[in-house]
């Protein structure tokens, strides 16, 4: 039977010499690397994934990863496209219910990205040009088309929705990195302690502001974009 080497890999006895030689290193491909990177990104408190960490996790020299991804931006793009696909797989609201379909897309995107903070925190900076990203674009454009928008109004509301979804998801991912295990944190990190004589409105509304939670605020902003689309379409 194989026995463990001092480095943790399996060793196999040579039938002629009796010596042991380590098994071959695992075969790498893009899917294997993406899966390993997501395992690292899901660890509580991990804020980034490096090629060195990936090499250690996979049991290979970090330079082996560069044969499949030219740089970290390309790797992060692949991870982001994969997480986008995970979110899209959860969409089950029919296209005809365009408002609820957009809400579900926004929520599932936030959930997928916030579970992998090392990737989700960079959502606003990543453009993958991958199939999942294109599918998400098509779903959003289709929804606002069904609302009655076209031309500049259509692309403007697409951009508003995409910006809110990505920025809100990135914020959720950063919050998850800082508070592992919490899926919905308070919007404000600390109480507002101000002089009411200088900032009377802040003092008056500080307690209410302190009660706002990230997810409720996120969905409220999505609803505002949807309501704007409805008003714009109604004006013709």
* pLDDT tens series, the chain, 236 aa: 444 444 444 444 454 444 544 555 667 889 999 999 999 988 877 778 889 999 999 999 989 999 999 898 899 999 999 999 989 999 999 999 999 999 999 999 999 888 888 888 888 777 788 899 999 999 999 999 999 999 999 999 999 999 999 999 988 888 877 766 666 778 887 888 999 999 999 999 999 999 988 889 999 999 999 999 999 999 97
Distance between CA atoms of 138 and 141, rounded to whole angstroms?
Answer: 5
What's the pLDDT score for residue 171?
A: 87
**pTM score over 0.85:** no
Burial (CB < 10 A; 0-12, 13-18, 19+), residue 127, is exposed
- Among 45, 47, 46, 64, which Cα is nearest to 55's? 64
What's the pLDDT score for residue 20?
A: 47
What's the pLDDT score for residue 27?
A: 77
What's the pLDDT score for residue 174?
A: 83
pLDDT in tens, 173-192: 888 777 666 667 788 878 88
What's the pLDDT score for residue 25?
A: 61
- Among 127, 161, 128, which Cα is nearest to 143's? 161
- Among 208, 205, 206, 229, which Cα is nearest to 217's? 208
pLDDT in tens, 62-89: 899 999 998 988 999 999 999 999 899 9
For the chain, list the domains and their CATH numbers: 30-235 (1.10.357.10)
What's the pLDDT score for residue 3?
A: 43
């Amino acid at each position: 039977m194989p026995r463990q080497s001092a480095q943790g890999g399996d060793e196999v006895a040579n039938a002629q010499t009796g010596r042991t030689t380590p098994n071959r290193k695992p075969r790498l491909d893009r899917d294997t690397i993406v899966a390993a990177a997501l395992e690292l990104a899901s660890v509580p408190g991990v804020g980034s994934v490096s090629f060195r960490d990936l090499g250690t996790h996979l049991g290979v020299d970090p330079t082996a990863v560069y044969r499949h991804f030219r740089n970290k931006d390309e790797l992060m793009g692949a991870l982001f496209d994969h997480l986008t696909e995970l979110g899209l797989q959860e969409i089950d609201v029919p296209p005809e219910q365009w408002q609820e379909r957009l809400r579900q897309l926004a929520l599932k995107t936030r959930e997928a990205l916030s579970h992998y903070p090392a990737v989700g925190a960079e959502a606003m900076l990543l453009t993958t040009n991958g199939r999942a990203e294109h599918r998400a674009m098509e779903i959003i454009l289709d929804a606002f088309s069904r609302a009655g928008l076209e031309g500049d109004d259509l692309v403007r509301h697409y951009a508003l929705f995409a910006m809110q979804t990505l920025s809100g998801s990135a914020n959720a991912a950063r919050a998850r990195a800082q508070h592992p295990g919490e899926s919905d944190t308070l919007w404000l990190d600390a109480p507002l302690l101000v002089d009411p004589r200088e900032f009377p409105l802040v003092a008056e509304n500080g307690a209410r502001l302190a009660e706002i939670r990230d997810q409720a605020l996120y969905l409220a902003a999505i609803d505002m974009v949807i309501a704007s689309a409805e008003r714009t379409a109604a004006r013709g």
